């Protein structure tokens, strides 16, 4: 059952901390997962309460709790601990998690912690990982893994698994390398268990292993692991030498973060914004896109004044359908862009030419627009008996649907071609463009039919 924090439970913990009831606190923490404990620490009134909880936990559990803290919060939180204590926490973590935490610390703290680590192999692993950018495969990978030389027997491989058992939390498969540490393939634990002890690894390994380059982006790694349904993927350098592995738990974080960024972009937010960010940070994220939307609104007002004013003055009934025209264009544009965004986000989709995509969009837009146009014509004519008004609105809806479909398709493709996150195409840009195009088509159609 998922942990649910209530105010009464939090008050009990605060009272226990203030009265130093360590037995109650340890019993309460024993019932929680490290991720739940990390979420709990945010709710205490001061950091001192959270530090007290960490102090009563055993070091391994405390390390896992700290590993589950949000990076921006953890960076400040760890300032209260000595480098010796941080080094103890680091010693219980995988090299990739340890490197992430140390990257948040000042250079002096980082160097002192690395010098204090008793496990020098882990220290070397962490130093290697600190050289990679955070959002690359090298920055995501852990150095801990089980590998076997292609010349080994099953007995030697089993001995290696036993030797690494304490350092590698999960063994999904054993990677096979040659004498130069070049990745040759992998062998499953099932084959190792079922094979005779004298069997050579060369006779049972699979050479079709999927790997990633250390400098590939985190998003590319996530796409590969999703496409091939992998629990872990080996990381190699440009020469094919095995460097480490990336496990699915790290990729879930990448996918979640990317989805959050796309969601924010689609709603017109710039940068990674969280609910607990400062007022000024939230304002800075929202303001640029709101300004773009406001500029579009001012252009629409100018357009209405310059072109629409004489038209609306002659035929006042046209004003009733302005929001219908603009709203329909916005809806169609967002629908079209969402389909393109989905195809761009899925590498497994067969790449289509731009011309073919536009022809398909035109066909869909023409059919949708024609159906909407006919329905609207019948409704307006039935209500007003005004033939010209019915024709103007119907033709405008057809044209707006076609233009909005085109804009919703082309904008994300253009942004993607120039290396800009295409999720922003579903934000202020498409809606503003469609408002302007819709009103322009509407007024010009009315001018033509009413001979104004």
Confirm if 211 and 183 have CB atoms less than 8 A apart.
yes
Confirm if 62 and 89 have CB atoms less than 8 A apart.
yes
Better-predicted residue by pLDDT, 341 or 81: 81
Better-predicted residue by pLDDT, 207 or 299: 207
CB count in 10 Å sphere of residue 433: 20
Confirm if 272 and 158 have CB atoms less than 8 A apart.
no
Better-predicted residue by pLDDT, 390 or 179: 179
Percentage helix, strand, coil for the chain under 3-state DSSP, each rounded to 5: 70, 5, 25
- Looking at the chain, the whole-number percentage of residues with pLDDT higher than 70 is 79
Confirm if 408 and 336 have CB atoms less than 8 A apart.
yes
SS3 122: helix
Q: What is the DSSP string of 249-308?
A: HHHHHHHHHHHHHHHHHHTT--S---TTS-HHHHHHHHHHHHHHHHHHHHHHHHHIIIII
Better-predicted residue by pLDDT, 250 or 332: 250
Nearest C-alpha neighbor of 406 from the set 440, 371, 363, 441: 363
Using 50, 70 and 90 to split pLDDT, how confident is the model at 275?
very low
Nearest C-alpha neighbor of 78 from the set 101, 46, 52: 101
pLDDT in tens, 115-144: 999 999 999 999 999 989 888 999 999 998
Better-predicted residue by pLDDT, 234 or 370: 234
Confirm if 204 and 236 have CB atoms less than 8 A apart.
no
SS3 130: coil
Q: Where do the domains of the chain lie, and which CATH numbers do they carry? A: 7-132 (1.25.60.10), 147-248 (3.10.580.10), 279-450 (1.10.357.20)
Q: How far is CA 190 from CA 148, 195, 197, 198, in A?
A: 15, 9, 13, 16
- Average pLDDT in the 193-213 region? 93
Using 50, 70 and 90 to split pLDDT, how confident is the model at 221?
very high
Contacts of residue 78, Cβ cutoff 8 Å, sequence gap at least 6: 66, 86, 101, 104, 105
Using 50, 70 and 90 to split pLDDT, how confident is the model at 53?
very high
Report whether pLDDT(63) > 70: yes
pLDDT in tens, 242-272: 999 998 888 887 887 776 666 555 554 455 5
pLDDT computed for residue 315 by the predictor: 63
Residue 350 DSSP label: P
- Looking at the chain, the whole-number percentage of residues with pLDDT higher than 90 is 43
CA separation for the pair 32, 387 (Å, rounded): 71
Contacts of residue 406, Cβ cutoff 8 Å, sequence gap at least 6: 358, 361, 362, 365
Using 50, 70 and 90 to split pLDDT, how confident is the model at 348?
very low
Q: Across all residues in the chain, what is the average pLDDT?
A: 82
Contacts of residue 202, Cβ cutoff 8 Å, sequence gap at least 6: 150, 151
Degrees to nearest 5, angle at CA 300 with 295 and 304: 150
Sign of CA dihedral 229, 235, 240, 243: negative
Using 50, 70 and 90 to split pLDDT, how confident is the model at 321?
confident
pLDDT computed for residue 349 by the predictor: 42
Rounded to two decimals, the pTM is 0.61
Tell the residue number behind the tokens 């076609």, with chain if given: 402
Q: What is the DSSP string of 3-59?
A: ----HHHHHHHHHHHHTT-HHHHHHHHHTS-HHHHHHHHTTSSSHHHHHHHHHHS-H
């Amino acid at each position: 059952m998922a942990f649910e924090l209530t105010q009464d439970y939090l008050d009990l913990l605060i009272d226990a901390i203030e009265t130093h009831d360590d037995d109650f606190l340890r019993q309460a923490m024993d019932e929680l997962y490290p991720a739940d404990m990390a979420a709990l620490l945010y709710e205490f009134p001061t950091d001192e309460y959270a530090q007290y909880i960490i102090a009563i936990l055993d070091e391994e559990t405390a390390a896992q709790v700290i590993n589950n803290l949000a990076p921006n919060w953890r960076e400040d939180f760890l300032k209260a601990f000595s480098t010796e204590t941080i080094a103890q926490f680091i010693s219980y973590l995988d090299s990739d998690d340890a490197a992430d935490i140390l990257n948040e610390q000042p250079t002096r703290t980082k160097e002192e912690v690395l010098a204090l680590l008793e496990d020098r192999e882990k220290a070397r692993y962490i130093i290697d990982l600190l050289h990679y950018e955070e959002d690359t495969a090298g920055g995501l990978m852990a150095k801990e893994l089980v590998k076997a030389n292609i010349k080994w027997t099953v007995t030697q491989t089993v001995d290696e698994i036993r030797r690494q058992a304490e350092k590698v939390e999960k063994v999904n498969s054993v990677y096979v390398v040659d004498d130069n540490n070049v990745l040759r393939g992998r062998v499953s634990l099932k084959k190792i268990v079922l094979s005779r002890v004298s069997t050579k690894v060369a006779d049972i390994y699979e050479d079709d292993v999927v790997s990633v380059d250390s400098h590939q982006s985190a998003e590319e790694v996530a796409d590969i692991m999703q496409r091939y349904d992998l629990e872990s993927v080996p990381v190699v350098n440009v020469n094919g030498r095995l460097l480490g592995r990336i496990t699915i738990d790290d990729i879930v974080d990448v996918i979640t973060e990317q989805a959050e960024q796309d969601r924010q972009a689609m709603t017109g937010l710039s940068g990674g914004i969280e609910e607990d960010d400062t007022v000024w940070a939230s304002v800075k994220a929202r303001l640029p896109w709101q300004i773009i939307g406001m500029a579009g609104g001012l252009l629409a007002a100018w357009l209405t004044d310059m072109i629409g004013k004489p038209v609306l003055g002659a035929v006042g009934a046209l004003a009733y359908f302005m929001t219908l025209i603009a709203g329909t264009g916005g809806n169609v544009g967002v629908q079209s862009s969402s389909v393109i965004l989905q195809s761009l986000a899925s590498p497994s989709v067969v790449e289509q030419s731009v011309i073919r995509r536009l022809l398909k969009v035109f066909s869909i837009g023409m059919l949708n627009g024609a159906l909407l146009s006919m329905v609207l014509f019948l409704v307006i004519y039935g209500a007003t008996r005004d033939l010209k008004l019915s024709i103007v609105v119907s033709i405008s809806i057809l044209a707006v649907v076609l233009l909005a479909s085109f804009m919703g398709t082309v904008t994300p493709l253009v942004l993607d071609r120039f290396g800009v996150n295409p999720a922003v195409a579903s934000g202020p840009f498409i809606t503003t463009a469609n408002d302007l195009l819709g009103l322009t088509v509407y007024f010009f159609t009315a001018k033509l039919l009413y001979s104004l």
